[in-house]
Structure 1
Amino acid sequence: MGEVRKLQKKLRQIENLEIKISQSLTPEERVKIFRKAELRTRLAELLLQLSGPQQTPGIVGEGKQEKMKRQVEATSEALPSHSPSATKIPKIPKIPKGEAEPTGRQKKTDSQKETVTRGETGRQEETGGQRETGAGGEQSETCLAVTDTSPKDNQEDAEFTALKASWEKAKFRLRSLEGHSDIITCVVAVDNLVISGSRDTTVKVWHVPTATEQRNLGGHTGGVTCLSAPPPEYCRRLAWDRSLGDKERFILSGSADCCVRIWALSTGQCVKSIYTFNAVTALCFVPEGDGYIITGSDGGKVQAWSWQTMDNCQSINAHEEAVTSLQSQGPLVFSSSSEGGVSVWEGLCTNRDPLRLLHHWDAKVTGCGSQGGRLTLSPRGDRLFVAYGRANLRILNWRTGTVCRLTNHSSIAGVTDCVHQTGGLLIGSCYDLANGESTLNLFSLPQCRYLASLTCADAPRILCFAAWLTGSGGHRWVTGGRDLTVWEQLPSSGKQRGDVTTKRDSRLDASLMESEGDSEDEEHSDDYDDDKEEDYTSQDASESGSTSWLRCVLQ
């Protein structure tokens, strides 16, 4: 297993190297990137060995074995051959089968099943006192309540079965939005418009039904790292002050140039620029009281700005490293950082110190700190879904500090970059380091039960995601990374053929959830001492991976 882990680390470093400084590669870095195909082939060979009958099943999906074999055969002539390692590979503990609620493991029998009660439904039973802020030690046991199977459970199972069957037949048409000259780092949707921010320093507005660029918003002097769209009622207030129409919508953009810019979408005019004195790595809008803009910096600072006056209300040294994500849920604000910490803030609707810290859970609790990667958040009630660059999603109960894992990839070579919720769905992106395949995995909410996976040939790594429902109830998504792509759902009854392959991975079905106490090989996949000549890091692209990207080292 050691060589697999070593190859995974090198491939992650190469992928992050390409993402961060693709326009200023040194000759040595170009050589490292050139070796990506060789490393992928070797990783595919090892994963095929691990997926054999002598090893624990489920490490590599059955459907991918043939693809990996073809990949190995196609590159065998161009690349140096490798003999299989003679080291005995330890068995990976089997993941228990059965369905699960989002905060623990669920086991069904003929007459009864164990279900985890959730705080957001009012049925949560705590096993102990609330963990202290920033507590590290052992995590509290997940509380399980035994209940009899009821007609309601049978109805939910039937509804889930019908939903799963409908997604197995889903068809999507894909269209590319071409115009950015560098990586797309963020996307948001406003009505029929998509707004994208890129490392090329521009913000672009796209009309989705026609797949055309409507406006190019230039003004930032550094890469654009984050976007946010204030609600219509707050846009009307600013539009009134700026003598614009009542239906005007605004967009917020944050950049490595230390500025937050506010744009009027109808005119493309920058109506306000806020200088933050720090490279902006994340932002969100809090729709409480007069409204607040919350920004996060590459140095871990969280700042609050009045929407009414645009003045700075509060500056907090909230995290030790770069703030990677900011999300609001009513009066609550959730922040994450590259060292693995997650904080929960309450908006007090005051012009002075509007944020008050409710909870802080460090990397020992979240389990996301050992990799030093790019955490992205998606809140839902008491639960916080966390993508942190590995094959699993984390589900943190931010009130109690209880953490569970949701399997988002059947192979330990998977990388999850973003997580999103829309229309009763939880959607996790996944990129396979071994074969370069990008996938969107769909789970039903609130149970987080696996539905299906969507992929298309040659899809690039998905770094950002936006989604909404059309007037007819269909799904429309936009994914960003090296390309900006619109995913438009087609009627299942129509004859038009979709561009997307829908499949189901039985390993995700059988291992929806496992408790935090269980082992996970991927958690220590990077714990090895690499030789100096094999070090895939640099001063501008350190092992912290996407952390450096979020720190906006954009030379």
Structure 2
Amino acid sequence: MGEVRKLQKKLRQIENLEIKISLTSEERFKISRKAELRSRLAELQLQLSGPQQTLGIVGDGKKEKMKRQVEDAPEALPSQTPPASKILKGEEESRPRETPAPAARPRKTGGGAETGRRQERTEPAEVSAHSPDVSGGSPDSDNQRLVQQEEAEFSSLQSSWEKAKFRLRLLEGHNDIVTCVVAVDNLVVSGSRDTTVKVWHVPTATEHKNLGGHTGGVTCLSAPPPEYCRRLARSLSLSDKERFILSGSADCYVKIWALSIGQCVKSIYTFNVVTALCFVPEEDGYIITGSDGGKVQAWSWHTFENCQSINAHQEAVTSIQSQGPLVFSGSTEGGVSVWENRCSDQDPLRLLHHWSSEVTGCGGGPGGRVTLSPRGDRVLLAHGRAWLKNLHWRSGTMSRLTNHSSITGVTDCVHQTGGLLIGSCYDVANGESSLNIFSLPQCRYLASLTWPHATRVLCFATWTTGSGDHRWVTGGRDLIVWEQLPSSGKQRGDVTARRDSRLESCSLESEGDTEDDEETDEYEEKDSDEGRDSGCDVTEDGGSASWLRCVLQ
């Protein structure tokens, strides 16, 4: 087991090395040994666990893995099952499924709230078989019907995603890692470490515009809503239909681009490397930026002047998201801050809550990158581990959702859209990548999607067509547009939908140390210590911030 962990650490270090722009001869030699290390790790895992337990974790190559996935794919299910395109109906449909949980809580015999719900899901059929038919119904029978209805709806969703088909189209043009993506109408906008922002026309999968102007890697993008675009367009004597994109870069600039003319209409110098940004559509509008030094700044959309600068975090801000008047920021040390926008000309942000890494449990890892996805009273966090964290930001209560069945799994990004939670999944031990789909709000596992020669997904954006079908875009080494195909059509998709049985039993679990947790934490702590000897130099530039600096340098 000791050699297995040592190999896993080395592979993690190599993955961090590969995203650096310039490499020394020693680093190139380390990278050249990746295939050898993976092969040795596969042998050891087979010896320790046996082939049945390592199926899906260890493979003899991508072709064999994909062949196995196709052979294991489920048969087509009855036609009455609704297609995956009908899954997303907005928050209105996802909320009613939350109602059975409170009434069912008295049935719990231990564990957490979700454990109680899992017990209820298996009990109703047995109970209803022996319960008398009481006229008018009883609270217990009503509750049973609600639970059964919830189970039927979930089974329908799961069946739909097992049949989901997507066509993938590679967008070629960037010559370095794609760090950020956004979707605007029929356009995809991507930012890259190659310093460019590119605009892509989705229906034709062609490059529409190449926006050059940054002198450092592009780290973040944001798209203001149409009404705020119209205000700026009028002041610039442009069409009311003009759309704008914000880009942040390691060159310390935020640039505002007019998409139709492909030009930068405004540059804001921030005096700091910009590592994250978002747009807050409140009152006149605000641009919120985060820096590599942990600073959060607010800028007026009306005057483009700095309204506020706050030393909010100890290390680099890696993610900023807005939700109405609220702003959420996360940093490499694992801290999460929640701000309220008071819509004032000076100091518009007021801190509501700050939860440190001791609460979130997201700090100190080799990845050093926290990605946020807020909704309501909770924020889902991806932080380079095999699981996602769920923070109830008002109370500081934490829970955990397994996103990979091995400790060699890495979650780089998390995204919520309608009734779905999507987490990226990458295995450093074998280089396999997939997207895991969960239903909201219970975060129950639906399916995993993988594709030929899948590379690590570092950024993600989603939108739906007028007919309700999904369109996604993923970025990393490759920039790929996903277009959902009709489930009833004869056209074959490029994506393999499968179900990982090891994730089926996983659900949101309250934070608590188990034997597995302790083993994983011990492994990651040692991994961070050994990182001092790696080419990425984990300790030189602020510990866990090394991932970000490797990307930007």
Q: Note whether the superposition's TM-score is higher than 0.5.
A: yes
Gaps of 5+ in 1: 73-97, 114-145
Q: Does the alignment pair 1:516 with 2:511?
A: yes
For the residues of structure 2 that align with 1:101 and 1:290, how far apart are their CA atoms?
44
For the residues of structure 2 that align with 1:486 and 1:324, how far apart are their CA atoms?
24
The code of the aligned residue for 1:285 comes to F
The residue number in structure 2 matching 1:497 is 492
Question: After superposition, what is the alpha-carbon deviation per residue over 1:342-384, rounded to whole angstroms, capped at 9, x for unaligned?
Answer: 1100010001100000111111110111215111000010110
Query: What are the equivalent positions in structure 2 for 1:106-255 lying under 5 Å apart?
Result: 106-109=117-120, 149-255=143-249
Distance 1:163 1:100, change over 3 A: farther
Query: What are the equivalent positions in structure 2 for 1:437-448 lying under 5 Å apart?
Result: 437-448=432-443
Q: Does the alignment pair 1:428 with 2:426?
A: no
For the residues of structure 1 that align with 2:497 and 2:445, how far apart are their CA atoms?
13
TM-score (norm 2): 0.83
Relative to structure 2, which stretch is displaced further, 347-356 or 536-545? 536-545
Deviation of 1:101 after TM superposition, in Å, equals 8.9
The residue number in structure 2 matching 1:262 is 256
The code of the aligned residue for 1:25 comes to L
Relative to structure 2, which stretch is displaced further, 517-526 or 208-217? 517-526
Question: After superposition, what is the alpha-carbon deviation per residue over 1:141-182, rounded to whole angstroms, capped at 9, x for unaligned?
Answer: xxxxx9984322221111110111011011111110000010
Deviation of 1:48 after TM superposition, in Å, equals 2.7
Q: Does the alignment pair 1:528 with 2:522?
A: no
Instruction: Give secondary structure in 2 for the equivalent of 1:527.
Output: helix
The code of the aligned residue for 2:525 comes to D
For the residues of structure 1 that align with 2:187 and 2:375, how far apart are their CA atoms?
25
The residue number in structure 2 matching 1:337 is 331
Deviation of 1:407 after TM superposition, in Å, equals 0.8
The code of the aligned residue for 1:31 comes to F
Distance 1:42 1:541, change over 3 A: farther
Deviation of 1:290 after TM superposition, in Å, equals 0.8
Deviation of 1:553 after TM superposition, in Å, equals 6.2
Q: Does the alignment pair 1:416 with 2:411?
A: yes
For the residues of structure 1 that align with 2:279 and 2:214, how far apart are their CA atoms?
20
Query: What are the equivalent positions in structure 2 for 1:11-410 lying under 5 Å apart?
Result: 11-21=11-21, 24-52=22-50, 60=54, 62-65=55-58, 67=60, 106-109=117-120, 149-371=143-365, 373-410=368-405
CA contact (8 A) 2:230 2:240 kept: yes
For the residues of structure 1 that align with 2:213 and 2:311, how far apart are their CA atoms?
28
Q: Does the alignment pair 1:2 with 2:9?
A: no
Instruction: Give secondary structure in 2 for the equivalent of 1:9.
Output: helix
The residue number in structure 1 matching 2:82 is none
For the residues of structure 1 that align with 2:167 and 2:118, how far apart are their CA atoms?
39
The residue number in structure 2 matching 1:83 is none
CA contact (8 A) 2:536 2:550 kept: no
Relative to structure 2, which stretch is displaced further, 269-278 or 509-518? 509-518
The code of the aligned residue for 1:14 comes to I
Deviation of 1:532 after TM superposition, in Å, equals 8.1
Deviation of 1:40 after TM superposition, in Å, equals 1.5
Distance 1:147 1:275, change over 3 A: farther
Deviation of 1:107 after TM superposition, in Å, equals 3.9
For the residues of structure 2 that align with 1:529 and 1:193, how far apart are their CA atoms?
41
Instruction: Give secondary structure in 2 for the equivalent of 1:6.
Output: helix
Distance 1:530 1:101, change over 3 A: closer
For the residues of structure 1 that align with 2:227 and 2:158, how far apart are their CA atoms?
37
Instruction: Give secondary structure in 1 for the equivalent of 2:524.
Output: coil
For the residues of structure 2 that align with 1:173 and 1:100, how far apart are their CA atoms?
42
Distance 1:101 1:427, change over 3 A: farther
For the residues of structure 2 that align with 1:448 and 1:538, how far apart are their CA atoms?
35
Question: After superposition, what is the alpha-carbon deviation per residue over 1:289-321, rounded to whole angstroms, capped at 9, x for unaligned?
Answer: 111000000000000000000000000000000
Q: Percent identity?
A: 73
Gaps of 5+ in 2: 66-108, 126-139
CA contact (8 A) 1:102 1:404 kept: no
For the residues of structure 2 that align with 1:424 and 1:69, how far apart are their CA atoms?
31
The code of the aligned residue for 2:276 comes to A
Deviation of 1:525 after TM superposition, in Å, equals 2.0
Deviation of 1:539 after TM superposition, in Å, equals 4.8
TM-score (norm 1): 0.83
Distance 1:364 1:390, change over 3 A: same
Matched positions, count: 491
CA contact (8 A) 1:100 1:513 kept: no
Deviation of 1:550 after TM superposition, in Å, equals 2.5
The code of the aligned residue for 2:5 comes to R
For the residues of structure 1 that align with 2:234 and 2:532, how far apart are their CA atoms?
59
For the residues of structure 1 that align with 2:186 and 2:173, how far apart are their CA atoms?
18
Deviation of 1:534 after TM superposition, in Å, equals 9.0
For the residues of structure 1 that align with 2:116 and 2:251, how far apart are their CA atoms?
46
Distance 1:99 1:230, change over 3 A: farther
For the residues of structure 1 that align with 2:464 and 2:440, how far apart are their CA atoms?
16
Deviation of 1:64 after TM superposition, in Å, equals 4.2
Distance 1:166 1:274, change over 3 A: same
For the residues of structure 2 that align with 1:529 and 1:462, how far apart are their CA atoms?
22
Distance 1:17 1:546, change over 3 A: farther
For the residues of structure 2 that align with 1:157 and 1:378, how far apart are their CA atoms?
26
Question: After superposition, what is the alpha-carbon deviation per residue over 1:160-208, rounded to whole angstroms, capped at 9, x for unaligned?
Answer: 1011101101111111000001000000001110000000000000000
The code of the aligned residue for 1:280 comes to V
CA contact (8 A) 2:9 2:527 kept: no
For the residues of structure 1 that align with 2:387 and 2:270, how far apart are their CA atoms?
34
CA contact (8 A) 1:14 1:36 kept: yes
Deviation of 1:212 after TM superposition, in Å, equals 0.5
Deviation of 1:5 after TM superposition, in Å, equals 2.8
Higher share in helix = 2
The code of the aligned residue for 2:156 comes to A
Distance 1:500 1:532, change over 3 A: closer
Distance 1:69 1:502, change over 3 A: closer
Distance 1:313 1:371, change over 3 A: same
Distance 1:484 1:251, change over 3 A: same
For the residues of structure 1 that align with 2:227 and 2:434, how far apart are their CA atoms?
36
Question: After superposition, what is the alpha-carbon deviation per residue over 1:1-23, rounded to whole angstroms, capped at 9, x for unaligned?
Answer: 433333222212211111123xx
Instruction: Give secondary structure in 1 for the equivalent of 2:525.
Output: coil
The code of the aligned residue for 1:468 comes to W
Deviation of 1:69 after TM superposition, in Å, equals 12
The residue number in structure 2 matching 1:142 is none
CA contact (8 A) 1:262 1:272 kept: yes
For the residues of structure 2 that align with 1:545 and 1:44, how far apart are their CA atoms?
30
